[in-house]
A = this chain, B = another copy of it.
Amino acid sequence: MQQKDISIAVIKRLPRYYRYLGDLLEHGVTRISSNDLARRMNLTASQIRQDLNKFGCFGQQGYGYNVELLYEEIKSILGLQRTYNLVIIGGGNLGQTLANYSNFQKRGFKFTAIFDKNPRLIGHNVRGLEIIDVSGLDAYLKNNPVDIAVLALPKANVAEVLPILVQNNISGIWNFSHVDLKTPDSITVENVHLTDSLLTLSYRLSQREKGEL
């Protein structure tokens, strides 16, 4: 399958395709036209055909797309034909919330440990995972296969753990800490800055109000 020149916008839509196709499968739908999929996803049919063509997925004239094949194809493009081991760094509210998300597990993302430096949290159990003293992070990474570190700690504490992740050649960081990480190119970082998202919402609300005045 050919994949080239894929824009960020298209990549960002892939998880959505995957979600909609998964829902269709669950409802027993076996084939779908680009028109029907477009209507459900609030896109245009030509945009869907363009997106999927880029990934070598071609619907058949008069038949549409085979939902299961397309689902499996996108699953593979998203890298979900394998599982990932994740550690959560930061065992507070957010870290515990993420550990409790069964959706991630279902898609092949397995949390294997949670780290914190707060003595009141260490030893606590979240979904069968014990919260471990962060002083043991380096040894843990040396002795266990970990693909992704989830940063769910205050930004002031990031500087303590980031060098340990870098030294141990972590592949990916899912960053919820409200700071932009300076990492070597070998590490793939995906940011979830909740405050930035909320400020985008207030921006849009405020623009709207101005327009209505």
Contact = CB atoms under 8 A, between A and B. Distances in A.
B14 A205 contact: no
A80 B208 contact: no
Contacts of A195: 15, 19, 103-104, 107
Copies, count: 2
B103 A15 contact: no
A104 B94 CA distance: 14
Interface string A2-32: 0100000001101110110000000000000
Contact of A203 (B14, B93, B98, B180): B14
A40 to B, nearest CB: 9
Nearest to A201: B190
A42 B179 CA distance: 12
Contacts of A109: 198, 202
Contacts of A197: 174, 190, 192
Interface in A84-99: 84, 93-94, 96-98
A4 to B, nearest CB: 11
Nearest to A16: B196
Given A199-B14, A203-B11, A208 B192 contact: no
A178 interface: yes
Given A104-B195, A195-B104, A188 B174 contact: no
A199 B103 contact: no
Nearest to A42: B180
A178 B103 CA distance: 10
Given A3-B207, A77-B206, A190-B200, 8 more contacts: A15-B193, A42-B182, A79-B205, A94-B97, A97-B97, A98-B194, A109-B198, A174-B198
